[in-house]
Amino acid sequence: MGEIPLSRYDLFVSRIAQTYLITNLTSSELEQCYGNRVRSRLREMFNLVAFDKSSKDKR
């Protein structure tokens, strides 16, 4: 599964494609599942949009 973000990273660097990602995992949980390399690439590729836990509408 970790190969998918890495292959999308290659497309991101060459400016061929954009990727959108939605997850309920924290950055430490992502690192635990996929390793530091994937977490590092995800941080470079995406802008983080975080919602407060008390937010009712997260659209």
Q: What is the DSSP string of 1-59?
A: -THHHHHHHHHHHTTS-------S--HHHHHHHH-HHHHHHHHHH-------TT-S---
Q: Provide, rounded to the nearest whole percent, the portion of the chain with pLDDT above 90.
A: 8
> Would you say residue 59 has pLDDT above 80?
no
| pLDDT band at residue 49 using 50, 70 and 90 as cut-offs | confident
The predicted pLDDT at position 29 comes to 92
The predicted pLDDT at position 21 comes to 83
Q: Mean pLDDT across the stretch 27-42?
A: 89
Q: How far is CA 22 from CA 14, 19, 30, in A?
A: 22, 10, 12
Q: Give domain limits for the chain.
A: 3-45
Of 12, 10, 14, 6, which is closest to residue 35 (Cα–Cα)? Answer: 6
The predicted pLDDT at position 16 comes to 83
> Would you say residue 42 has pLDDT above 80?
yes
